[in-house]
A and B are shown apart, each in its own frame.
Chain A
């Protein structure tokens, strides 16, 4: 499989998974400046992509960058309370946990 075809089908699979597993996702309305909203509509039409699912992974990646860029005080307030927590889905916090930035879950069995 060529890389382009592989990327294409992987993206479609991800989109389908998001549609299927809607219980861990919420649709959020964002107010955008018309300049950007109209460009987004145009790009979505020309490149045939779904607006709603396209930003899910982008937002997650930005949140990872945001979390690691926070100063110590803000990091302790926002991220540290999640140390040892269990994350149910493919979220930024789960990714931070697998990177060792958030303490891993520990179960007492």
Chain B
């Protein structure tokens, strides 16, 4: 396969909805002078993950090319995966209720002295806003009349 054929084969595999694709776009923006998302908490917490050594070298090359730290790339990937994991908890699961889990984590954030994101971005808010009636002006009007 020549270089041109390889490039075409690669283009056919690109998934513009994938996290990898979106991260590349974000890294390209940063390289052009864009700003990293602002941090609410200066303090971070650590998680240990097992990474294949060849993948780790790939991550280092990627970080060098885009002039960011390897941790920044891993952080973006893992945080997005955590968000996806949480949002995909089945609503049929009666043992692990998404709203209760969200509320528990929000409480833990407060108990440990960390700042919360503004209203609308906490885990609990993310969960409850999925109620189809939430924010419905007709419903709000009805409640006011009561």
Contacts and interface: CB of A to CB of B under 8 A. Distances in A.
Interface residues of A, number: 60
B144 interface: no
Contacts of A87: 54
B74 to A, nearest CB: 5
Given A59-B55, A62-B77, A94-B54, A28 B49 contact: yes
A100 B49 CA distance: 29
For chain B, the bracket of interface size reads 35 or more
A5 interface: no
Contacts of B104: 42
Contacts of B105: 35, 38-39, 42
A37 B50 contact: no
22 contacts: A25-B53, A26-B53, A27-B51, A28-B48, A31-B71, A32-B47, A32-B75, A33-B39, A34-B114, A36-B82, A39-B123, A42-B105, A46-B96, A54-B49, A55-B78, A62-B77, A68-B14, A77-B61, A89-B54, A91-B52, A93-B58, A99-B9
Give the top 7 A-B pairs by smallest Cβ distance, nearest first: A65-B20, A37-B45, A91-B54, A31-B44, A66-B20, A65-B18, A69-B21
Interface of B: 1, 6-7, 9-10, 13-15, 18-21, 23-25, 28, 39-41, 43-56, 58-59, 61-62, 65, 71, 74-75, 77-79, 81-83, 85-86, 96, 101, 104-105, 108-109, 112, 114, 116-117, 123
Given A27-B50, A37-B44, A59-B49, 17 more contacts: A30-B75, A32-B44, A32-B46, A33-B75, A35-B114, A37-B45, A46-B101, A52-B49, A55-B50, A55-B78, A59-B51, A59-B77, A65-B15, A70-B24, A78-B61, A91-B54, A93-B58
